[in-house]
């Protein structure tokens, strides 16, 4: 009898747990998109803050990423800050430990090896003490209204980064001040090493043949970028494919938000508006990786850019990744339409 009693109690507990989990899942589903959007907006605002003069930012991929010299300091995404006349420098997202947990910063370093700005994205230190690092109204120098991260702007990498010597500490929060200063210096050094290795902040131009433009014998960067009027779609790179000097098509790399991450695709369109090839370049959704399988992207080839590309109608979703499949399909359609418009507009 006692055993049955125990099993009964276990089952009752399980019922409460399941109901709790279902409730949480519903709330998570309804808020996760907003939270992801907030974080993305924070990141964009942060990038503009650390590179006030930049006109745009490009995510660095492959060899362009900046490597952390210390396994305890984790480098996130790195971005090239583009100015009106070429790249201005590199911004890196970095996470390292501080007094109350992980602190995440965005650090901008210009090509002349000067810190352009530091923005604190996340800080878990004591509110009112170390937490002041992230406060926009806490000034380490009241006369000039300089915040703690603000004092790094314009600092040369050759300077010392010593708290209480050339870095003003936050009152009663020396550990926070030191760890942030250290993170800024580590990023500065790593970016400077990347620049020394010839890793020019410019993304390497994609020359030669392109898999999404099989009919072209040479591919160059377009002199006029394609633009999409679909909200949330950003075209990162526009390419033109030529055969014996004549334009046969155009391709573009584009990025948009997906379920809980984002998706990047490469789309090639011929001059008559047919999609020649699609590549899913990157998907950061937690469950999205199945759409990287070549079979998914292959479905688009040969379809007209103007056709109603829709998951469930003429595009099959990858099972288990319906959200990511839908987001990728919408992005491919928007990019293809933008390319058709750009090809029609001429001047590429």
Partner 1 sequence: MKRLFGVFVNGLIVENPLFVIMIGLCSSMAVTTTVANGIGMGVALTFVLVMSELIISLFRNLIPESIRMPIFLIVIAAFTTIMDLEMKAYFPVLSKSMGVFIPLVVVNCIIMGRVEAFSSKQPVADSILDGLGMGIGYAWVLIALSVVRELLGNGTLLGFQIMPSSFTPMIFFILPPGGFLVFSLWMAASNDLRRKLLAGRKPEPTQDSCCTLPDNGSAEKA
C-alpha dihedral, 330 to 335 to 341 to 342, nearest 10°: 170
Closest CA to 307 of 326, 333, 328, 332: 333
Please state the length of the chain: 348
As measured in angstroms, the least distance from the Cβ of 25 to partner 1 is 11
Closest CA to 240 of 223, 264, 263, 265: 223
Name the token pair of 82: 């583009």
Q: Are 271 and 307 in contact (CB under 8 A)?
A: no
126 belongs to the binding site for partner 1 (CB under 8 A): yes
As measured in angstroms, the least distance from the Cβ of 104 to partner 1 is 11
By CB under 8 A, the count of residues binding partner 1 is 33
220 belongs to the binding site for partner 1 (CB under 8 A): no
208 belongs to the binding site for partner 1 (CB under 8 A): no
273 three-class SS: coil
Closest CA to 94 of 85, 84, 102, 86: 102
Pick the closer one to partner 1 by CB: 13 or 162. 13
102 belongs to the binding site for partner 1 (CB under 8 A): no
C-alpha dihedral, 174 to 175 to 176 to 180, nearest 10°: 100
Pick the closer one to partner 1 by CB: 70 or 172. 172
As measured in angstroms, the least distance from the Cβ of 171 to partner 1 is 6
Residues 13-42 that bind partner 1 (CB under 8 A): 13, 16-17, 20, 23-24, 27-28, 31-32, 34-35, 38, 42
φ, ψ at 305 (rounded to 5°): -60, -30
For partner 1, the binding residue among 68, 82, 98, 123 (CB under 8 A) is 123
Pick the closer one to partner 1 by CB: 134 or 340. 134
Site residues, partner 1 (CB under 8 A): 9, 12-13, 16-17, 20, 23-24, 27-28, 31-32, 34-35, 38, 42, 100-101, 122-129, 131, 134-135, 137, 142, 171-172
């Amino acid at each position: 009898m006692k055993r049955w009693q125990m099993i009964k109690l276990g089952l009752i507990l399980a019922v409460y747990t399941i109901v709790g989990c279902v409730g949480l899942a519903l709330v998570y589903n309804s808020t996760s998109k907003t939270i992801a959007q907030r974080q993305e907006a924070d990141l964009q605002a942060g990038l503009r803050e650390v590179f006030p003069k930049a006109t745009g930012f490009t995510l660095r991929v492959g060899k362009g990423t900046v490597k952390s010299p210390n396994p305890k300091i984790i480098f996130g995404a790195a971005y090239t800050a583009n100015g009106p006349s070429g790249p201005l420098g590199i911004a890196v997202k970095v996470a390292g430990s501080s007094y109350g947990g992980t602190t995440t910063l965005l650090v901008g370093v210009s090509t002349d090896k000067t810190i352009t700005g530091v923005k604190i994205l996340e800080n878990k230190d004591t509110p009112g003490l170390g937490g002041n690092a992230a406060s926009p109204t806490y000034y380490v120098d009241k006369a000039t209204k300089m915040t703690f991260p603000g004092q790094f702007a314009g600092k040369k990498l050759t300077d010392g980064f010593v708290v209480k010597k050339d870095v003003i500490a936050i009152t009663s929060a020396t550990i926070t001040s030191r760890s942030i200063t250290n993170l800024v210096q580590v990023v500065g050094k790593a970016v400077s090493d990347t620049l020394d290795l010839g890793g020019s902040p410019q993304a390497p131009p994609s020359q030669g043949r392109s898999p999404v433009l099989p009919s072209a014998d040479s591919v160059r960067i377009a002199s006029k970028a394609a633009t999409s009027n679909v909200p949330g779609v950003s075209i990162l790179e526009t390419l033109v494919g030529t055969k014996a000097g004549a334009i046969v098509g155009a391709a573009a790399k584009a990025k948009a938000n997906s379920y809980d991450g984002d998706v990047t695709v490469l789309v090639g369109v011929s001059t008559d508006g047919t999609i020649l090839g699609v590549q899913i370049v990157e998907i950061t959704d937690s469950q999205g990786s199945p759409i990287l399988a070549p079979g998914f992207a292959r479905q688009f080839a040969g379809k007209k850019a103007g056709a109603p590309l829709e998951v469930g109608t003429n595009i099959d979703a990858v099972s288990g990744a319906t959200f990511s499949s839908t987001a990728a399909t919408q992005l491919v359609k928007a990019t293809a339409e933008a390319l058709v418009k750009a090809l029609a507009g001429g001047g590429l």
